Each structure stands twice: as C-alpha cells, then as structure tokens.
C-alpha cells in the first residue's frame, strides 16, 4: 500500500484535537478527494501525510516506511519523494519563476548542484515543460511577485510536478483559480497521477469539482471520517450531514439540489 493510516489521531500543541481514529488506505495510482467543513482537519491530515507533523496516536505508513521511526537523512529522503501542493505556495517574491520550479528538486540534488541552480538555472527546458502544461510557458523568467494569485498557485503545482514525487498531495490546489482553469488544472493533476501511477490526495472546498475529478471521496468532519465512498455513491444526504452547521442562524444550505438520497452526479 502507498498510504496507510490506522487509527491515526493528532492533537495540536495547544491541546486542540484535530484528527481522531482516522483509517485510510490508498493503493498506488489511487486518487482521493478530502472534503469537509472548515476546521474538519483536512490540512492537518495533509501535513501528517507530508511528514511535517507526526501522529499523536495510531500508525502512519507512507511508501512502505513509517515516518515516526525515521530520523535525519532517512526522513529527508522520504520527504523528497512526497510532493505537497500548497494553497499559497511559499514562493520567494523576488525569485524568478524558473528558479522556483527547479527548487522542486532541491531535496534530491547535491548541495553544490542546489546552490548553483539557485544562481544559474540548470534545467530551463525541464522547468519550461512543466510550466507549459499549466499554460505558463511564457512566464519562465518573470519574478514570482509579478504573478497573480492563481498564476502563483500554478507555479507551485509546476514545482511539485517537476519534483517527480512518488506521492502527490494537494491542499486546496485550485482555490485562487477561475472555474475554467480550476477544472483544467484538476484534470491535469489526475492525468499526471494516472500516467505516473502516483497516489493523489487533494483537499477541496468545491464539492462539485471533487465529485467530477476524483473517483473516491472521503468526507471529514470534526476530525473523523464521516464517509469514504466512490464519488458516484455520494448522496445529498451525505453532503448535508457533512456540512451541517448548527451555529449559523440562516440554517445550512444543501450543497447541491435534488433528491437527498440520490447519489450526486456532476456533468
């Protein structure tokens, strides 16, 4: 299995419980969307999968390794095989787009090669190829702070694809994009994951995009898995239960209209 969480819990240092007894298994090439209300634990789950956090309880196996047992170089090698697409990619403002994309492989290069690449981009064609897939081939030498939020998000995606990870994670990867670009970008991520047989796990607030682009949907609420099922079996009842909000006075709008028990289909 590429990813296996068994009874995983996480408590933040301030005592806030973010995840409780989460079980999740992904085979190579499997694509899963994580959906759920604000504060459900989606980002915390992705940070555990990216090994920037370690579980407070339970067991987490990634790419046949257990991060909690790794230290130093072994942990760095595992991290270099995991690609995380951030909602707001950490791009140094004055850095050129080409350098930002090539930084995707810094963890795999020798220190000397990494330092040289920061000053003199060593693989401009490689960076241009990933940017072209995201319709940004003409921005290779622009500064990151001269791009829009959606363009910066696509540079972050190009960087993660250039990294050539064995596990692809994405935290709200299209939140700053217009609907057409968001649709195109999620199609691209799905294609890349299929071509390279990568497991892909993405958190999304846009339920319609999740249902359209991902064959499997995990609904997370208050740190627990409420459902884990094929996209074409997710019903409006599932979504209403997932997003129910007792504190909003206007009541909870149903995310999509129609028969509550009927599976929700996206065209």
Show the tokens assigned to 178: 């217009």
3-state helix, strand, coil in the chain (%, to 5): 40, 25, 35
CB of 51 to ligand ATP, least distance (A): 16
- Is residue 44 at the binding interface for ligand ATP, with CB under 6 A as the rule? yes
Q: Which residues touch 104 (CB under 8 Å, ≥6 apart)?
A: 83, 158, 159, 160, 161, 162, 163
Helix axes 179-196, 149-163, angle to 10 degrees: 0
**What residue has token string 């067991």?**
59
Among 68, 50, 47, which Cα is nearest to 59's?
68
d(CA 127, CA 27): 29
* Nearest-approach distance from CB 19 to ligand ATP, in angstroms: 8
- Please say which residue, 14 or 110, places its beta carbon nearer to ligand ATP: 14
- 3 phi, psi to nearest 5 deg: -140, 130
Q: Which residue has the tokens 């240092």?
A: 13
| Per-residue interface string for the shown chain with ligand ATP, residues 4-43, x marking contact by CB under 6 A | --------x-x-x-x-----------------x-xxxxxx
The residue (of 15 and 72) whose beta carbon lies closer to ligand ATP is: 15
Binding status of residue 148 toward ligand ATP by CB under 6 A = no
Alpha-carbon distances of 229 from 134, 163, 216, 218, rounded to whole Å: 30, 30, 6, 7
Smallest separation (angstroms) from ligand ATP to the CB of 116: 36
Q: How far is the CB of 78 from ligand ATP (least distance, A)?
A: 22
Judged by CB under 6 A, the chain residues 220 through 249 that form the site for ligand ATP are none
User: Any residues with CB less than 8 A from the CB of 117 and at least 6 apart, and which?
Assistant: 99, 102, 103, 106, 109, 123
Please give the residues from 98 up to 137 whose contact with ligand ATP meets the rule CB under 6 A: none
Binding status of residue 175 toward ligand ATP by CB under 6 A: no
Nearer Cβ to ligand ATP, position 104 or 173?
173
CB of 206 to ligand ATP, least distance (A): 12
> Closest separation between CB of residue 118 and ligand ATP, Å?
30
Closest separation between CB of residue 93 and ligand ATP, Å?
Answer: 24
- Binding site residues, ligand ATP, CB under 6 A: 12, 14, 16, 18, 36, 38-44
């Amino acid at each position: 299995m590429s990813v296996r969480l068994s009874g995983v819990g996480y408590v933040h240092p301030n005592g806030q419980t973010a995840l409780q007894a989460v079980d999740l298994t992904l085979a190579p090439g499997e694509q899963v969307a994580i959906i759920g209300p604000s504060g459900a634990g989606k980002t915390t789950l992705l940070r555990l999968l990216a090994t920037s956090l370690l579980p407070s309880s339970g067991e987490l196996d990634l790419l046949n390794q257990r991060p909690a047992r790794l230290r130093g170089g072994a942990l760095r090698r595992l991290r270099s095989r995991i690609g995380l697409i951030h909602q707001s990619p950490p791009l140094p403002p004055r850095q050129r787009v080409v350098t930002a994309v090539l930084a995707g492989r810094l963890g795999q290069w020798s220190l000397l090669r990494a330092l040289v690449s920061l000053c003199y981009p060593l693989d401009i064609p490689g960076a241009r190829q990933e940017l072209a897939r995201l319709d940004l081939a003409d921005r290779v030498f622009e500064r990151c702070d001269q791009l829009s939020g959606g363009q910066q998000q696509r540079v972050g995606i190009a960087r993660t694809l250039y990294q050539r990870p064995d596990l692809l994670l994405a935290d709200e990867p299209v939140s700053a994009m217009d609907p057409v670009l968001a649709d195109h970008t999620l199609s691209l991520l799905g294609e890349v994951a299929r071509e390279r047989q990568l497991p892909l796990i993405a958190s999304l607030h846009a339920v319609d995009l999740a249902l359209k682009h991902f064959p499997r949907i995990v609904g997370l609420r208050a740190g627990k898995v409420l459902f884990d099922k094929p996209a074409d079996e997710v019903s409006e009842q599932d979504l209403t239960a997932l997003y129910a909000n007792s504190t909003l006075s206007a009541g909870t709008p149903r995310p999509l209209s129609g028969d509550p028990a009927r599976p929700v289909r996206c065209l």
